[in-house]
Structure 1
């Protein structure tokens, strides 16, 4: 064996990749079978390739069949880019800024892709997901604090997603079903999730393919109905432009693209495939396939988000209603603008919104199980973990629905607070992720190289600074009074200190390859 290959194999052989270790995210019986499905036997058989030892260090040739088998986790991950909170950000960006922020949506999606690829890389290379690794890498107090932050982000996202579904259900029932009833109906989706998961991971992934397809068709239909300007659309994607009047929307586009719970989720989802983690070639192969399917999934999510932005840019940019539009009244405003037609645009919007809400609430339930189980090392039955996870979000959401039932316009104010809540949690998912994928003791040969470390930290810093701007802007207008101001100041100081602690700890064990060249091949 070549010395370089021996070094790779040695670095791969760390405790986290021991095949005898107990499975964490998925039982071995739940995983999609990958081992033995090679280009030499794509016609069937599924037997282990007799020359499989060749792939101990070398990556197997590309196989369309394998790409299909690896396809799924990236599309579940992409749902977080299409949840009701993102859709509301899209429609407000379109109504207030027109087509001018489409380029930013494109680059924000690209930054989100980078983060998700690092999350997938962590899960594949270690055989564990981010929450589990945080439990082992940080002291108890820091681990519990990270868990609380992840749970807060999850609850905030889930409230938005469930309320979005409830709004869609109310529209589709012509107002017969109130918001609280829609919340209860949406809460039942966890049982659908559990039912499908019992029949295999691929069944659950098929459900999400249907929901994403429903969103794509609904918003593409709206795109066709409103007929946005193609030239302005193309210029919006290609020509960077931000004005002082649209800075808040621009910051919102970037700030909402990273969902903390989604970073934890993707590192677990990639473990649903059975691969031989003892072989460098097999692990690298899995990372390559996951990179392809994640990129395709986020291209589709970008197109859907672009449809929504351009529809509302065409309909409301420069109008009096531009500053008042939100999830609650968006469908009604569209109907007033374009009439009912053969298929009322109000219901097309509601169908797309319902698909977005339902799919994102299921993934939130999924993420909640991994986050709770990983940080706390719980060994509960799946139905019990799902019930606990769902209750954490549904109880406050039901309260919100009952309180705001008679004043739905106030939901937009609530949504701002929820966005702030999630923005505050972003550093506590991004920083641990970047620290762990930079650590040779964790990643072995798949530790990211210095160039990618620099790029990743710059992207993380940009996202954190942008969300910091959102927080500062929000609290500067909301905070008043000596007691409230003092309380916010104390929490802000503690918040900043914790971030500094995480960064300093990451730098101390990131093991930058300053003098050694042995890991340069691990660059993506």
Structure 2
């Protein structure tokens, strides 16, 4: 029995006939049939896009908060964990992309063919829970950025509601073609790089300890707090629903799967693109770790409060009172991070930080929506319009988030 017959037998045992690959994209990017070369920048450009969309999951507000807390509790000592998490992520993303390229199906579609109904539904529910949980921190991160940009005039609960409308607006870009849609996401990544790069330059971290922490897999003097932070770094970087997303995104390229050489070529360029995208993601994450290793490590609330009142920063008065006058470790979250930057480097640093966080929240929110859409289409064979998908997942995510933001 050959492999094709074995696959058909597995599908019959699972209680259903083989389903053809779904047309995830109405139009696909044409891949020119050029003579085979070892490497071509033109071909790389054709395949560039899915990897950068995938890499946004490595740059969501949860990752940013994990980065700044890593700098606050361990300085540069856990950057090697961040590096290893990105390497692990690259290996797994490569496998996910290969599945999509070789089979023409994404992971959820393949699961539909190979799993019986009950395990398949359980898998789908697990993916949906992961997406909704991720969506909650993306929503609150976006709401915090609106709060900072408006100097508190847009309360958190209002920012949460705004995220519903603006996500619908950005998703209309898909109508202009997949390449323009991908370019928009890349613009958001560039916005993060510029915003966090500015904070990095202003902070002036030490290069020696930073590179030591990046390549020396050791954490001298670390305890339970640092260990838990290392675990949270891996958990925030490697997210399972992102593999479903990546395996579907690669279907946007029109690969001739009847020719083995073309499949191998697509796998090669998708891997190179994923490597470049995750390298950029890693650098952006390191920028955030370094900034708050300087700003929060071994600092108390009183230390930061002193900077707020004694630096010439033009900060609104209410921001200067955010950090309490006590000797507890400096509070480290996205909101307090923005206030610290404004106190230390001027109010412009606060607004630039908020713009970077806004780019994180908006981009990761949209990719989460697509991951959920692909999972639903594959696992249970239901295809919803994008706006309905947003309405369902965002409503579930917003209900608890809105309650927390309103009463906090």
Post-superposition Cα deviations, 1:254-290, rounded to whole Å, max 9, x if no partner, equal 2221112211111111101111111111111111110
Correspondent of 1:92 among 59, 62, 69:
69
What corresponds to 1:430 in structure 2?
none
C-alpha RMSD over aligned residues:
2.2
Contact 1:171 1:350 in 2 (8 A): yes
What corresponds to 1:331 in structure 2?
338
Task: Output the CA distance in 1 between the equivalents of 2:20 and 2:252.
Answer: 14
Unaligned runs of 5+ in 1: 1-9, 40-58, 408-524
Q: Where in structure 2 are the equivalents of 1:34-183 lying within 5 Å?
A: 34=31, 36-39=32-35, 61-183=38-160
Q: Where in structure 2 are the equivalents of 1:457-496 lying within 5 Å?
A: none
Structure 1 180/237 Cα, relative in aligned 2: closer, same or farther at 3 Å?
Answer: same
Post-superposition Cα deviations, 1:385-407, rounded to whole Å, max 9, x if no partner, equal 3433333323443333223xxx3
Shift of 1:142: 0.7
Structure 1 209/14 Cα, relative in aligned 2: closer, same or farther at 3 Å?
Answer: farther
Residue 257 of structure 2 aligns to a residue in which SS? coil
Does 2:212 align with 1:235? Answer: yes
Unaligned runs of 5+ in 2: 9-18, 302-328
Shift of 1:330: 1.3
What corresponds to 1:309 in structure 2?
289
* TM-score, length-scaled by structure 1: 0.67
Task: Output the CA distance in 1 between the equivalents of 2:7 and 2:180.
Answer: 32
What corresponds to 2:356 in structure 1?
352
Structure 1 269/229 Cα, relative in aligned 2: closer, same or farther at 3 Å?
Answer: same
Correspondent of 1:26 among 16, 24, 27:
24
Contact 1:87 1:308 in 2 (8 A): yes
Shift of 1:323: 5.5
Structure 1 93/221 Cα, relative in aligned 2: closer, same or farther at 3 Å?
Answer: same
Residue 153 of structure 2 aligns to a residue in which SS? coil
Shift of 1:372: 1.4
Contact 1:60 1:281 in 2 (8 A): no
Task: Output the CA distance in 2 between the equivalents of 1:308 and 1:358.
Answer: 18
What corresponds to 1:454 in structure 2?
none
Structure 1 262/349 Cα, relative in aligned 2: closer, same or farther at 3 Å?
Answer: same
Task: Output the CA distance in 1 between the equivalents of 2:175 and 2:272.
Answer: 27
What corresponds to 2:11 in structure 1?
none
Correspondent of 1:365 among 364, 369, 376:
369
What corresponds to 1:190 in structure 2?
167
Aligned residues: 368
Contact 2:57 2:242 in 1 (8 A): yes
Larger RCO of the pair (alpha carbons < 8 Å, separation 6+): 2
Correspondent of 1:390 among 394, 399, 405:
394
What corresponds to 2:379 in structure 1?
375
* TM-score, length-scaled by structure 2: 0.85
Task: Output the CA distance in 2 between the equivalents of 1:323 and 1:175.
Answer: 21
Task: Output the CA distance in 1 between the equivalents of 2:73 and 2:140.
Answer: 23
Contact 1:37 1:66 in 2 (8 A): no
Correspondent of 1:268 among 245, 248, 254:
248
Contact 1:123 1:271 in 2 (8 A): yes
Structure 1 334/370 Cα, relative in aligned 2: closer, same or farther at 3 Å?
Answer: same
Shift of 1:297: 0.3
